[in-house]
Structure 1
Amino acid sequence: MKYASWTISRFSLIAALISATAPLARADVIMDWNAKADAIAAEKQILPAPHSRALSMMHVAMFEAVNAIDRRYAPYKVTLSAERSTSREAAGAVAAHDVLLSIYPDLKPDLDATLTNALTPIAEGESKSAGIALGKEAAAQIIQIRANDGSAAVETYRPPTTPGAYIPTVVPLFSTTGATTPWVMASGSQFRPGPPPALDSEVWTRDVNEIREVGGRGSPTRTPEQTTIGRFWFSVGARTYNPIVRQAALAKGVDLVDCARLFALTSIAGNDAIVAVFDAKYHYNFWRPITAIRNADLTSNAATPRDPSWLPLGDTPMHPEYPCAHCIISAAISTVLQTVVGDFGEFSLTSPTAPGVTRKWSRLQDYSDEVSNARIWAGFHYRFSTEVGKDMGRKIGALVVATQLRGVEAMAEPKR
């Protein structure tokens, strides 16, 4: 709830500033609904994978709706047309509303009220009516495209054990996510990396010893700032990067169509990064530091001593270690932003897991690198896993920008 309140209050400032500086169709409607989706996720405690799916559907639908009016960029996979006089704000708002309603039907009164507030300032007439119809059609087509994307698959994870032997009974998260349909990648395994290093290798020895020293709960070598950063990034998912995308849009003064495109690109990149990383995680099923360090004697590697009571700084996420999910997502988002808008000056973020702390950066690369280091300092990920995750994220971000929602001239090019 604290995160949701912060998101909404920060967005109000952003929206007010854009309203004062953009004389034509404003980007407010895009960021309004982005903040709304984040607030819903915070309130309902939606996990990162389903929240990413909702965001990507919503933002692609909004993009398709407003882009059909301007025809500035190639569409994703829908065919829409509209008169230039059609209200972009109405089209975008209705597209967002209808997608979110399809995902959260229990929130109909709230979503309907939000839509009413968005549509009320728009003058009645043919332009508004056409925008409403266009938004409905955009949402309907995107909902149909994603109707059988595998996100509703029943979880069937089989815990490894021997007959009669107790094992911890918490079922891990996202075991089916890697098999869901990506937006851009050919499959979840398109960027699957090679295996983690052998347990007698130099890389393994170096990295497991590093995290044992710096990632432990009572580590004497981790600095106070590193501890703060580690805790800061206990917060995960799209609610950690959407505020950055909003700040980029504000700093660059983008109009409604370009804002819709920016959020669509970052959302589908974030979604595909999640699909790719969980494909790899459950393919390799690699042990977390807490398991490896407490069982180090099983590797017969004399250079990696066992610590029977070792604990990480925070509670280890409930899914396999390799590669780093937070790292792939932040790298994918950074790559999209760097390619589309470039570095845009100082930006900042707060976190519900580090109250009172604000992190600031002036380069997107520094933000991505901090996320990776934080997962080491938190005791969650080996350094090799963070590097592999970042590499995967950069490839996914580059693929998204190179192939999706390109300038209209791309419509005449062969599909990649």
Structure 2
Amino acid sequence: MTSSIRTLVRACALVVSPALAACSDGATATPDSTAARTVSVGATASVRWNQRAVALVVARQPASNGQAAVSRILTYLSLAQYRAAAAAQGAQTTAGAASPSVSAAVGGASAAVLDAFFPLDVASIEAQLNADLAVPPWPGAAPEDVVGGQALGRRIGTAVLAQADRDNYLAASPGTPPVGPSMWVSSSAAIVRSLYGVRPFFLRAPNELRPPAPPAIGSPKFVEALAEVRRIADTRTAEQTAIATNWNTSSGTFTAGALNLVADDVIREHGAPELDAARVLAFANAAAFDAQIACWDAKFAYWFIRPSQADPGIALAIALPNHPSYPSGHSCMTAALFGVLANAFPDQRARLDAMVDEAGMSRVYGGIHYRFDIDAGRDIGRAAAALALNGSLK
């Protein structure tokens, strides 16, 4: 197993009740009778709460539209954190008055959003917030208004939740799959819609990043791509199987959660201050959000056949998701989120690009995607990252 995959599937220990334990580095998070206090060393509030959100995802395992559901939660969480951090830092106070605490604002916004998405865990979430707020400030630190900061964050979190309620999630139907020799065939399960038809952050239209049509059935490019999938399936190595499996399951975090844990590590390692950390997480998640909208727009525009449907002799290493093949959702998401992350931390670009490539090839190793699916998804993700980097989340 490669080092990037080991990083990706880093376990996140948690206890859902009576208190929620945060992820930690180098130690297992353990519950406390009042509130779990273990956090990543050097983590900002936004990173801490991002890790806690992933822990909740692991605990609750959203079954319906799981991948997109997780991405949506993390996107609105990080959006609320960023807006709260910016508002607290920019707040004007009278002479001698304490400014709103930025970390308390991020905590209040995070708790408001997570309470709404995880109603069974409200008590644990609130206990964790109270434990954070009770930590005394560093000696010599400027006075901060913790109560005002938390209240500000909660107001912003509530506003972000209202925005989420209007985003058209799971409201649009892609319609009935067309029939033909190049067309994907659905199983009896519900078609996975991801973020199809959801209101984007940066895209002007869902089809703005739609790639050209996939290679025609029987064309040299298609025949070559299908043959590659079959060849790998017939000779699949233990390492290829491990890569396919680990990128598929990500230790229960779903891909969006695993990518956020990588982002958390990079942000913490670089010592980014609170507002910068929140900004990176917000833009990275929003870029991945839009990339999924564009990805599923293309999937339901072309309805392209999966490799194992074109060649039933292809043995799968992972389960076949119930949506069309072209383009690859993994490549759309990883290229988008890591594109923003690499822009913020250029020294990490080579490592992050390698992970994007590995995530894409994991789907070929698994037998569920062609290489041209991967290429198209990566292009969508990079374009979504570029739109985010030139856009605004105010």
TM-score (norm 2): 0.81
Secondary structure at the residue paired with 1:403?
coil
Amino acid at match of 2:108: V
1:265 aligns with 2:278: no
Q: Per-residue deviation at 1:187? A: 2.7
Rounded to whole Å, the distance in 1 between the matches of 2:227 and 2:57 is 37
Rounded to whole Å, the distance in 2 between the matches of 1:195 and 1:101 is 42
Q: Per-residue deviation at 1:250? A: 1.8
1:375 aligns with 2:363: yes
Secondary structure at the residue paired with 2:305?
coil
1:317 maps to which of 298, 317, 321: 321
1:341 is aligned to 345
1:191 aligns with 2:212: no
1:22 is aligned to none
Flag structure 1 segments of 5+ consecutive residues without an equivalent.
19-26, 72-80, 295-306, 346-361, 406-410, 412-416
Amino acid at match of 1:281: K
Amino acid at match of 2:189: V
Amino acid at match of 2:325: E
Secondary structure at the residue paired with 2:165?
coil
- Aligned-pair identity in percent equals 28
Rounded to whole Å, the distance in 2 between the matches of 1:154 and 1:39 is 30
Q: Per-residue deviation at 1:248? A: 1.0
Rounded to whole Å, the distance in 1 between the matches of 2:381 and 2:174 is 27
Alpha-carbon deviations, 1:211-269, whole Å to 9, x = none? Answer: 0110x2xx22x333222212221124212211210111122111111111111111111
How does 1:379-394 map onto structure 2 within 5 Å? 379-394=367-382
Rounded to whole Å, the distance in 2 between the matches of 1:271 and 1:194 is 21
Secondary structure at the residue paired with 1:315?
coil
Secondary structure at the residue paired with 1:193?
coil
1:10 aligns with 2:34: no
CA contact (8 A) 1:211 1:376 kept: yes
Q: Per-residue deviation at 1:16? A: 4.7
CA contact (8 A) 1:251 1:344 kept: no
Rounded to whole Å, the distance in 2 between the matches of 1:96 and 1:191 is 31
Rounded to whole Å, the distance in 2 between the matches of 1:82 and 1:60 is 22
1:332 is aligned to 336
1:224 aligns with 2:238: yes
1:41 aligns with 2:57: yes
Rounded to whole Å, the distance in 1 between the matches of 2:113 and 2:26 is 21
Cα pair distance change 1:43/1:16, threshold 3 Å: closer
Alpha-carbon deviations, 1:125-168, whole Å to 9, x = none? Answer: 9711210221022112212222211115276864668xxxx984
CA contact (8 A) 1:252 1:344 kept: no
Cα pair distance change 1:380/1:11, threshold 3 Å: farther
Amino acid at match of 2:245: R
1:61 aligns with 2:80: yes
TM-score (norm 1): 0.77
1:178 is aligned to 196
Rounded to whole Å, the distance in 2 between the matches of 1:189 and 1:139 is 30
Alpha-carbon deviations, 1:285-333, whole Å to 9, x = none? Answer: 1111111113xxxxxxxxxxxx4xx321221112111100001111112
Flag structure 2 segments of 5+ consecutive residues without an equivalent.
1-8, 15-21, 29-37, 138-142, 180-184
CA contact (8 A) 2:248 2:255 kept: no
Amino acid at match of 2:71: S
CA contact (8 A) 2:245 2:318 kept: yes
Secondary structure at the residue paired with 1:189?
coil
Rounded to whole Å, the distance in 1 between the matches of 2:378 and 2:258 is 16
2:225 is aligned to 207
